[in-house]
Amino acid sequence: MRTGTCILSMVVACLMIGLSIGWADNSPIKVGVVLPLTGDQAKFGEIEKNSLLMGLEEINKAGGVNGRMIELLIEDDTGKPDVGRSAVEKLISQDKVVALTGGYSSAVTYAVCAVAQQRKVPFLVSTGSADKMTEQGWDYVFRIAPPVSEYPKALNSFLAEIVKPRSVAILHENTLFGQSGAKEFAEQCEKAGIKVLIKDGYESGAVDFKPLLIKVKAAKPDLVYMISYEMDAALLMVQSKELNFNPKLFVGGGGGFTLPEFAKNAGDAAELVFSADLWSAHLPYPGAKEYSENFQKRFGSATEYHGAEAYGSIYVVADALKRAKEYTPAAVRDCLASTDMMTAFGPVKFVSYGKKKQQNALPTYLVQWQKGILETVWPRNVATKRYIFPIPEWTQR
């Protein structure tokens, strides 16, 4: 009788251990996602949602996490911080997610970060790039993408080696993303001896940028650097061409300038425009080319760095879940902190430097629209095409 009791006790103990790490539970592991699926930023949210779902299907098809599937619960933040806060509260309180990812606009993402930290649920930020997000000392917030201050790293070396501009005008949307990026780039220019003639903000969604562009044209900057979302980016270029405004080069600070829709909406005004970029399918990252090709086949349109960030994020979350001793937010957080892996977006390892904590450190790139194709032009060792510079004036193209 004593032997039978011992065996029963061992079985119960094993079952309890199995439950704690998920052996005996076949229910999906819930991961929350917050993205803009409606509103002005919906195009970005759609690319990221589709990329997350692609990655999810691949992971689950390969056996999921230790035999259990991952379930993504996706909430629409509509591009508004208060909606984002409500969405993440629901995911945590009602849906009982063990981790969060997503986060597009900096304003919304920052609000979500604060809730995630307060509720102690790990949040892997895929896109939101304002520097301060990883400068708060938060231990439940991680970011896979570079902060906006690092977007122009490749641009800065291109300017120093090739362009050698003496002056710049910086135009930015009046959002956390735009203001943060403009401030950081202005400081970088001043350190490099490039005089900032104008640093001016505008309200996203405007339809007439000509008064602003006329002022900038009169200042005669060598370089115009613009931090803009999709429609603003296209309108800025269309109206610059209409005004026959010809600085040495126009450069976008990521955002809307890398989307396929930018070239479509701006038409020939997009030609030869440069942009900071964070990723390309041509980079030597395993799975990058396949992800790009599969996205194109499945959705009938090209992806770009926003999608790659999201695609990489779900693989990072899955990796942390596979290593977790139990499926709790605290355990997943600890495994995210020790992440060291390669993804289609690039290497992922969360480190601390300067004011940053749990920030992934990656190189950035410079791209240029050439004949309707976004070509990587800098650094030289990863270029798909040679850069075109000097830029002919509009009337000579």
> Over the stretch 7-25, which tens digit does the pLDDT of each residue have?
444 434 444 444 444 445 7
| Whether 301 and 318 share a structural domain | yes
Higher pLDDT, 40 or 100: 100
Preceding amide of 379 cis, omega within 30: yes
Give residue 255's pLDDT. 87
Query: How many C-beta neighbours within 10 Å does residue 386 have?
Result: 12
Task: Please state the rounded mean pLDDT for residues 105-111.
Answer: 97
In a domain, 61, yes or no: yes
| Whether 231 and 313 share a structural domain | no
pLDDT at 1 > cutoff 80? no
| Whether 264 and 377 share a structural domain | yes
Give residue 5's pLDDT. 45
Report the alpha-carbon distance of residue 134 to residue 181 in Å, rounded.
15
Preceding amide of 36 cis, omega within 30: no
| Whether 192 and 247 share a structural domain | yes
Please answer whether residues 247 and 283 qualify as being in contact, where contact means their C-beta atoms are separated by less than 8 angstroms.
no
| Whether 348 and 373 share a structural domain | no
| Whether 123 and 155 share a structural domain | no
Query: How many C-beta neighbours within 10 Å does residue 137 have?
Result: 11
Structure confidence at residue 349 as a pLDDT band (50, 70, 90): very high
Structure confidence at residue 209 as a pLDDT band (50, 70, 90): very high
Collect all residues with Cβ–Cβ distance below 8 Å to 210 and sequence separation of at least 6.
239, 242, 243
Cα 42 from chain centroid (whole Å): 14
In a domain, 2, yes or no: no
Give residue 37's pLDDT. 98
| Whether 346 and 234 share a structural domain | no
Cα 152 from chain centroid (whole Å): 14
Give residue 214's pLDDT. 98
Q: What is the pLDDT of residues 146-178, one digit of tens each?
A: 999 999 999 999 999 999 999 999 999 999 999
Structure tokens belonging to residue 266: 């701006």
| Whether 230 and 353 share a structural domain | no
| Whether 107 and 128 share a structural domain | yes
* 3-class secondary-structure state, position 234: helix
Containing structural domain, residue 245: 150-277+364-396
